[in-house]
Amino acid sequence: MNYRQIAHLIGSSKKKTPSKLFLRGELKDKDFFGRNFEYFGEGKLWILIGDFGIIDKWFKKNRKKVNAFHWEITARNSALPLADLTRFDARIEPGAIVRTGVKIGKVCVIMMGAVINIGAVIGERTMIDMNVVVGARAKIGKRCHIGAGSVIAGVLEPPSEKGVTIGDNVLIGANAVILEGVRIGNGSVVAAGAVVIKNVPAGVVVAGVPARVIKKVSDIKDSSKTKILEELRG
């Protein structure tokens, strides 16, 4: 999907407000049968799950039967649902947000607070650390580490034909920003806090604002600074 197709999909989709309504009252199974929402419970306690508009319409008609209620609204006029996390062979921690249309490779790790937008592709054994934002259509290779708080730019707004492409075995330091259209070569390292505005060749270290090449990865004497821990991906 290019950015125009994604924008059209979002713009033309039927917006929904996913909701849960917890009820206590004089209600029976027949009060819910045939409605366009799910319902669970028995006796005086019931849970309704579905779109807010549909449930609210039912609720207003049956308000006199309800003694107490509580709404839980998880989004408002949402264009696209979140992804079904069970289809990924990866470790995805609580609080991560993964939108539909995302591809996540085997044995990846997605940490708390990470946000991965539609069309993004994450290669096998890559770790997306806490509070990382991976924009629409970004491509990240295998065995990478994307440091906490980093931003991998999307390609929807402002519009761009090119997405971010990150090669294999790349390390992105905490709070780095990779702007749209940038390509980062295999095995390179982006220092913490760097802002990358142009392509990075393979096997180099870049740092600064804007980022520039400061040395080759082969010049790093302490190998632990670029080591990927397999134990974290087990």
List pLDDT tens digits, range 188-213: 999 999 999 999 999 999 999 999 99
Q: State the pLDDT confidence band at 105, using cuts at 50, 70 and 90.
A: very high
Give the pLDDT mean for 104-115.
Answer: 97
The pLDDT score that the predictor gives to residue 234 is 66
Half-sphere exposure of 203 (CA within 13 A, CB side): 3
Q: State the pLDDT confidence band at 224, using cuts at 50, 70 and 90.
A: confident
Which residue segments constitute the domains of the chain, with CATH numbers given? 17-73 (3.30.70.250), 85-217 (2.160.10.10)
List pLDDT tens digits, range 45-65: 999 999 999 999 999 999 999
List pLDDT tens digits, range 94-103: 999 999 999 9
Give strand pairing partners of 116.
98, 134
Give the pLDDT mean for 117-124.
Answer: 95
* Total-model pTM: 0.87
Peptide bond into 201 cis (omega under 30): no
The per-residue b/e assignment along 42-71, b for 16 or more CB within 10 angstroms, e otherwise, is eeeebebebbbebbeebbeeeeeebeeeee
